[in-house]
């Protein structure tokens, strides 16, 4: 903090923007020295105090170097927050209407050239959707990060379980959501209305560049809304939307945020800054009319963790995914063979007063770590856990999409939770968290009041824990692991196991008559427990290089593809699509082959080169 205070602060022009109800919102206007006449403008609407940018710097990599910017920045405090606190009143316009008024005010200023975009993460991203919904005539494009516009029951009660630390952080930031959430812990008309009112992809009429992270808590809403605008926004703009998914956390505390190399205990050097550089390319194309080929960029760019590569697709999830069951066994193993034994189960105790602790993950509270952290030292070193692992992988296991965990379970209490953590186990036994999820058993039949019922002690039940999308390659030499507990605290509320009131006194972090539960997971042929993994087409199990390297370029490819071996090669090259279907073959005698691929549709393909002493597979993406 001292270094920030010692830095020379930015000195914006301070103004106020009139709203339709006569009240005004405080605004800071940052105009670079090189802006002679009129320039394009980036509008930021924040509930976190616009003046902080004077000390922390401007986004998109500009920082304190305002004069390096090609854009004017207008930063506005939300109504009711900081400099705009006095504008709050009963019956105030919506945030979207305020955004509309701010856009149109900016357009009328002599320093605006008529091109206006918006940017910002989290709440600053959500308000961009609200603004775009109102369709201000002079809004050109939006660039929301780690945000979707939805308010969903499962966002706040995943698996029916209150997100304790998340809502506590929102309350601390001034949003005050806990009273209404705790008064509506089941799916009811309030949630039906909120979900219908806040899902409006058909109302997004401007090009949208959404940015998210695989360790962020908004993944579900983000990807759902992106798919919505790709199919339901006006036809003239559908093809202009883009999505970037990196190996990033939500941000808000600590050094990790969208676009940094360091994320939790891992480092992704080749992902650093992609959000800023691509956002600038997006704005340069739409706001400055720069011919930078943005219109031909992939619809979806995503980071494949594990292999640590950037890949692209026309959609999310990409084509060529096969959902495959991986079964849990009584010897704590995981494989894709169903149990043969008719008897098999494993049990553990769960004490609500001593819950399994949250170590990393898609958290928000400022005292918790965000992102990938090793679960072995603390979580996996307790006695209230079941740990299932594959054998050491002989080849890469590539996962892209949503994972489901199907559990057959019982408890000796009337209610309990089942929590899962999926991890990537390194050769040194580091068990790095990929993602987690939870389920409250009283909601096993649904989340409405009519669906809920307590458990009959020791009776078997099924539950399905749906995890958000991820994108990771479990590398050869690693293991895939599933940890099962009945708590993950304070990320999720603790179940007191009594079957009684979940949040006594409308307190999201309280226990009433807590009881220790003995919980069982069944792992036999009659009651199976398994993961459903969205697996990409695997590489061949017989990979032989013998010193030959195969390079395939460009990727993404369009009309022609070149395969280079670096030295003389005699053999055959097979071209398979993402479903494993052979779509072409070529004989080769030489160092290089160039193939016309203009007849192949867009998608993922696998190129297999086979010779007497050589067999390798490469994946490519063809874009149209």
Average pLDDT over residues 117-125: 98
Structure tokens at 467: 């995890």
Structure tokens at 405: 């965990």
Distance in angstroms (rounded) separating the CA atoms of residues 569 and 609: 10
User: Which has more confidence, 79 or 602?
Assistant: 79
Backbone angles phi, psi at 173, to 5 degrees: -85, -5
Q: Do 78 and 45 form a contact (C-beta atoms < 8 A)?
A: yes
DSSP string, 36-78: -S-EEEEEEEESS-GGGHHHH-BTTTTBT-GGG-SSEEEEEEP
pLDDT recorded at residue 614 = 63
Quote the pTM value: 0.86
Q: Which residues, in sequence order, are CB contacts of 355 under 8 Å at separation 6+?
A: 487, 488, 489, 494
pLDDT recorded at residue 543 = 43
pLDDT tens, 183-221? 999 999 999 999 999 999 999 999 999 999 999 999 999
Q: Do 378 and 432 form a contact (C-beta atoms < 8 A)?
A: no
Q: What average pLDDT does the chain have? A: 93
CA-nearest of 87, 251, 256 to 169 is 251
Distance in angstroms (rounded) separating the CA atoms of residues 560 and 612: 27
Query: Which segments within 131-225 are labelled E, that is strand?
Result: 141-145, 209-213
CA-nearest of 344, 427, 353, 348 to 392 is 427
Distance in angstroms (rounded) separating the CA atoms of residues 611 and 210: 44
Helix (H) or strand (E) holding 26: strand 24-30
Band (pLDDT 50/70/90 cuts) for residue 578 is: low
Structural domains in the chain plus CATH codes: 1-139 (3.40.50.1820), 321-535 (2.60.120.260), 551-622 (2.60.40.3080)
Distance in angstroms (rounded) separating the CA atoms of residues 327 and 389: 10
Indicate the Cα dihedral angle 116, 121, 127, 131, nearest 10°: 20
Average pLDDT over residues 353-382: 97
pLDDT recorded at residue 245 = 98
Instruction: Give the rounded distance of the alpha carbon of 7 from its chain centre.
Output: 33
Q: Which residues, in sequence order, are CB contacts of 464 under 8 Å at separation 6+?
A: 404, 405, 406, 407, 439
């Amino acid at each position: 903090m001292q270094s920030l205070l010692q830095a020379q602060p930015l000195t914006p022009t301070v103004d106020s923007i009139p709203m339709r109800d006569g009240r005004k919102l405080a605004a800071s206007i940052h105009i670079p020295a090189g802006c002679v006449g009129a320039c394009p403008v980036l509008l930021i609407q924040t509930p976190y105090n616009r003046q902080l940018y004077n000390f922390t710097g401007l986004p998109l990599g500009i920082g304190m170097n305002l004069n390096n910017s090609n854009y004017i920045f207008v930063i506005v405090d939300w109504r009711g927050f900081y400099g705009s606190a006095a504008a709050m009143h009963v019956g105030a316009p919506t945030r979207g209407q305020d955004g509309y008024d701010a856009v149109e005010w900016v357009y009328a200023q002599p320093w605006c050239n008529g091109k206006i975009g918006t940017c910002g993460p989290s709440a600053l991203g959500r308000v961009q959707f609200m603004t775009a919904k109102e369709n201000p005539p002079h809004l050109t494009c939006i660039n929301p990060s780690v945000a979707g516009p939805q308010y969903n029951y499962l966002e706040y009660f995943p698996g029916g379980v209150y997100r304790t630390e998340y809502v506590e952080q929102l309350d601390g930031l001034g949003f005050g959501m806990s009273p209404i959430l705790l008064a509506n812990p089941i799916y009811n008309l309030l949630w039906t209305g909120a979900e219908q009112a806040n899902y409006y992809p058909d109302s997004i009429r401007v090009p949208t560049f959404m940015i998210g992270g695989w360790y962020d808590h908004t993944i579900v809403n983000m990807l759902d809304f992106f798919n919505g605008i790709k199919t339901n926004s006006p036809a003239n703009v559908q093809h202009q939307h883009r999505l970037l998914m990196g190996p990033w956390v939500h941000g808000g505390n600590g050094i990790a945020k969208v676009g940094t190399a360091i994320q939790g205990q891992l480092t992704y050097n080749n992902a650093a800054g992609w959000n800023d550089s691509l956002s600038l390319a997006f704005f340069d194309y739409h706001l400055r009319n720069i011919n930078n080929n943005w219109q031909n960029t992939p619809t979806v760019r995503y980071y494949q963790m594990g292999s640590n590569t950037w890949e692209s697709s026309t959609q999310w999830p990409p084509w060529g995914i096969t959902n495959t069951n991986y079964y849990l066994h009584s010897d704590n193993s995981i494989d894709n063979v169903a149990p043969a034994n008719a008897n098999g189960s494993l049990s553990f105790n769960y004490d609500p007063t001593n819950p399994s602790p949250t170590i990393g993950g898609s958290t928000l509270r400022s005292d918790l770590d965000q992102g990938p952290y090793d679960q072995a030292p603390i979580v996996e070193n307790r006695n209230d856990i079941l740990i299932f692992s594959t054998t050491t992988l002989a080849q890469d296991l590539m996962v892209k999409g949503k994972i489901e965990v199907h559990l057959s379970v019982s408890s000796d209490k009337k209610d309990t939770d089942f929590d899962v953590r999926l991890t990537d186990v390194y050769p040194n036994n580091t068990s790095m968290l990929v993602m987690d999820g939870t389920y409250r058993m009283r909601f096993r039949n649904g989340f409405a009041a009519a669906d809920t019922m307590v458990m009959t002690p020791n009776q078997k039940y099924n539950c399905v824990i749906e995890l958000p999308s991820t994108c990771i390659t479990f590398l050869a030499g690693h293991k895939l692991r599933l940890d099962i507990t009945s708590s993950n605290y304070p990320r999720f509320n603790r179940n007191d196991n009594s079957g009684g009131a979940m949040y006594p006194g409308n307190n999201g972090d309280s226990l009433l008559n807590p009881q220790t539960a003995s919980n069982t997971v069944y792992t036999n042929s009659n009651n199976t427990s398994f993961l459903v993994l969205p697996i990409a087409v695997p590489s061949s199990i017989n990979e032989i290089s013998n010193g030959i390297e195969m390079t395939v370029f460009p990727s993404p490819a369009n009309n022609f593809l070149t395969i280079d071996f670096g030295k003389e090669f005699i053999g055959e090259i097979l071209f398979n699509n993402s479903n494993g279907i052979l779509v072409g073959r070529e004989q080769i005698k030489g160092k290089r082959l160039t193939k016309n691929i203009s007849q192949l549709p867009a998608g993922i393909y696998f190129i297999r080169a086979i010779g007497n002493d050589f067999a390798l597979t490469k994946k490519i993406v063809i874009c149209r």
